[in-house]
Chains A and B, each alone.
Chain A
Amino acid sequence: MTEYGVILFYTTSSAMRAEKLLKKENYTVKLVPVPRQFSSDCGIALRFDWNQGEQVRSELDKAQVEIDAIHQL
């Protein structure tokens, strides 16, 4: 079974930008409602394959997408 992580962002725009650039690089990602256990935010978060965590993080750093937090689901 795939283990997932979620990335929380400060803005919807950042989430959209992250999804777009990671999909372009063929990462398996999906925008989901922010899991309540991590934040009371009403927005969206990006779910990713936990095994690709390091690469995902480095792609976002490279593109200077600001991240609020990363959690394992």
Chain B
Amino acid sequence: MIYLDSAATSWPKPPEVLKAMVDVLERAGGNPGRSGHRLSIEAARVVYDTREDIARFFNISDPTRVIFTSNGTQAINVVLKGLLKPGDRVVVSSMEHNAVMRPLRSLEKQGLVLDIVPCASDGSLEVNHIAKALKSDTRLVVIVHASNVAGTILPVAEAASLARQAGALLLVDAAQTAGVLPIDMQAFGIDFLAFTGHKGLQGPPGIGGLIIGDRVDTSQVEPLIRGGTGSQSELEEQPEHLPDKFESGTPNIVGIAGLHAGINWIMDRGIETIRAQEKELTGALIDGLSNISGIKIYGTHDPESMVAIVSFTATGRRVSEIGLILDEDYGILTRVGLHCAPAAHKTIGSFPEGTVRLAPGVFTTPDEIKEAVRALGKVVGS
């Protein structure tokens, strides 16, 4: 079997991740911070240590500004629903996932004004378009760090600097980049970073997070849900203190422990090493596909300006049919269709059919890429 669906979720996971998840239940199975006994404190320690390592990994100074969520989508929803008011303007790229577009379209009905910045057909974003779209009442700029459809990397640091000049905040959707591209929140000037744990960060599904930059006044952001935090229990109102304001209910300790092991695994291996490896695989994949007649590859075709995501279509063939043959006859696992990102497919010209998406990961080998290219030659050529 060849797994080329790492953009949906990475697989397999490093063995350390599985071990950490079992270990936490055996060793630290209490409810973190709620009860004050040793198992409760040990669980709180696991949560706090993970918070610290995440702060270090994305370079922010205050670990309490790391908020755990169930996934990237929830993190994005905290910002969009908690910060934006009717009448606010939001600048958003035309390459966004529905995790961003669906909450925004819903808020638009309540009076939010969307300024959608067009990206090129290779998915790239010219920063001048952002500059032009920014207005005095723009509250937030939202961009995906790299497209989940074409892999194209968007200019986050440039967008951050433009947003700052205009007095707006910046939310970055790092679903496809956390763990595979270096992200320095302070150097880039990111105000909100939404990430998921189960892709590049090598953790399990069901855990993600929102990191809030120093510049954000969190009293301006309403929590998505309210409830018990294990702190200030005498109050029936939600506390303002971080991270508790945004973290009601028992957290996903097993997910957090797995995410912690995943991040440590990446730090041991080195993100630069991972990036170099993924660039090599992406280059080999693009070269191989370019030699198959009838295949159209989307995106920039340049591993430097993309993450390890290669989308293609084949003349006269349904993407769903290609995906099924690859799975059934060759054991090659891909994802076909719209990838929950109709806006991105409209931008690159593959709507409504969608594409076949090939997404290698840290455990993909060059031989597997060769074998996948060979198989595609047969499937598409036949």
A residues in contact (CB < 8 Å) with B:
9-17, 20, 31-34, 39-44, 66
Question: Which residues does chain A contribute within 8 Å of B45, judged by CB atoms?
Answer: 16
Task: Determine if A40 and B234 form an interchain contact, defined as CB atoms under 8 angstroms apart.
Answer: yes
Please, how many angstroms separate the alpha-carbon atoms of A42 and B64 in the complex? 20
Q: Is the pair A13, B230 in contact by a Cβ cutoff of 8 Å?
A: no
- Interfacial chain A residues near B37, Cβ < 8 Å: 33
B191 within 8 A of A: no
Contact present for A31 and B242 (CB under 8 Å): no
With A16-B45, A31-B41 in contact, is A11–B229 under 8 Å at CB? Answer: yes
Not counting A11-B241, A12-B230, A17-B63, a sample of 7 additional A-B residue pairs whose C-beta atoms are within 8 angstroms of each other reads A11-B242, A15-B44, A16-B44, A17-B64, A40-B234, A44-B36, A44-B41
Q: List 15 A-B contacts (CB under 8 A).
A: A11-B231, A11-B243, A11-B244, A12-B32, A12-B230, A13-B47, A13-B51, A13-B242, A15-B33, A16-B33, A31-B44, A34-B36, A41-B231, A42-B230, A43-B33
B51 vs chain A, min Cβ distance (A): 7
Binding site for A on B (CB under 8 A): 32-37, 40-41, 44-45, 47-48, 51, 63-64, 229-234, 239, 241-244
- From A13, A33, A34, A66, give the contact of B48 (CB < 8 A): A13
Knowing A41-B232, A43-B231, A44-B33 are in contact, say whether A13-B64 is a contact too (CB < 8 A).
Answer: yes
Given contacts A10-B239, A32-B36, contact A43 B48 (CB under 8 A): no
Which of A33, A39, A40, A43 is most buried by chain B, counting CB atoms within 10 A of its CB? A43
**Pair B36/A14 contact, Cβ less than 8 Å:** no
Bound Cα distance A58, B36 (Å) = 25
- Tell me the smallest distance from the CB of A31 to a CB of chain B, in Å: 5
List 9 A-B pairs, minimum CB-CB distance, nearest first.
Answer: A33-B36, A12-B33, A16-B48, A10-B241, A42-B233, A40-B234, A44-B36, A31-B41, A43-B230
A10 touches B231 (CB 8 A): yes
Bound-state Cα–Cα, A20 to B44, Å? 12
Q: Once the chains are docked, how many angstroms separate the CA of A42 from the CA of B239? A: 14
Contacts of B44 in A (CB 8 A): 12, 15-16, 31, 44
Q: Are B233 and A43 in contact (CB under 8 A)?
A: yes
- Which of A9, A11, A17, A33 has most chain B Cβ within 10 Å? A11
Set of chain B residues within 8 Å of A32, measured between Cβ atoms: 36
A10 touches B243 (CB 8 A): no
- Tell me if A41 and B41 are in contact (CB < 8 A): no
Shortest C-beta distance, B206 to chain A (Å), equals 21
B64 touches A11 (CB 8 A): yes
Contact, CB under 8 Å: A42 / B34: yes
> Considering only CB atoms, which chain B residue lies closest to A64 in the complex?
B62
Whether the pair A12, B231 counts as a contact (CB closer than 8 A) is yes
Enumerate chain B residues within 8 angstroms of A13, measured Cβ to Cβ.
47-48, 51, 63-64, 242-244
Q: Whole-angstrom distance between the alpha carbons of A43 and B230 in the complex?
A: 5
- Bound Cα distance A9, B242 (Å): 12
Across the interface, which residues of A come within 8 angstroms of B51, CB to CB? Answer: 13
A40 touches B48 (CB 8 A): no
Using Cβ atoms and an 8 Å threshold, which residues of chain B touch A11?
64, 229, 231, 239, 241-244
User: A64 → chain B, closest Cβ, in Å?
Assistant: 9
Most A CB contacts (10 A, CB to CB) among B36, B40, B242 go to B36
How many angstroms between the C-alpha atoms of A37 and B40 in the bound complex?
Answer: 21
Among A9, A14, A16, which residue has the most Cβ atoms of chain B within 10 A? A16
Cα distance A66–B230 in the bound complex, in angstroms: 17
Given A13-B64, A13-B243, are A40 and B233 neighbors across the interface (CB < 8 Å)? yes
Are A41 and B33 neighbours in the complex by a CB distance under 8 Å? no
Closest to B64 in A: A13
When chains A and B are docked, how far (Å) is the Cα of A31 from the Cα of B42?
10
Closest B residue to A33 by CB, please name it.
Answer: B36
Given A11-B229, A11-B243, A16-B48, do A39 and B234 touch, yes or no (CB 8 Å)? yes
